[in-house]
Amino acid sequence: MKTILIVDDVKEMRDLLNKIVTKMGYQALEAATGQEALKLLDESPKIEVVLLDMGLPDIDGLEVATSIRKKDESMKICFITGKGDYEYVKAAGKVGAVSYIVKPIRPSLVIERLKQIVA
């Protein structure tokens, strides 16, 4: 079973994404902060995809992604953010994001993106 790490400081967002991920048949792990996410990634080598909020309270999502890239160049990262301007999309691409979802999220879009990422 593939494992997806959900990183978002908003509990309701984590709950929604967890519901989507588990309904798709994947295992979900959750982190509310960048530090917690990095710790889980160190402890859980089976994680294959990270759904990563760009606006975390402790460490910027781009910094988290950069740290992930230093340890695992093949990790699939999909950013989730409330900011959809081109600069954010460009920044996400520079740190190796494979996809990008703008809030408010639509469950159908999350499902579509996860199918593309995990395929």
Look at the chain and report how many structural domains it folds into: 1
Q: What is the pLDDT of residue 5?
A: 98
Average per-residue pLDDT in the chain? Answer: 93
Phi and psi at 70, nearest 5°, equal: -65, -30
The predicted structure's pLDDT at residue 79: 94
Residue 119's pLDDT is what? 81
**pLDDT at position 68:** 95
Phi-psi category of residue 107: left, alpha or beta, with phi > 0 → left and psi -120 to 50 → alpha: alpha
pTM for the model: 0.94
**What pLDDT sits at residue 85?**
66
**Ranges of the chain with pLDDT below 70:** 84-85
**Quick one: pLDDT at residue 87?**
77
Q: What CATH number does the domain containing 106 carry? A: 3.40.50.2300
What does each C-alpha distance from 34 to 23, 57, 103 come to in angstroms?
Answer: 25, 8, 19
What domain range includes position 28? 3-118
Q: Do β-strands 99-102 and 27-31 pair in parallel, antiparallel, or remain unpaired?
A: unpaired
Strands 99-102 and 47-53: unpaired
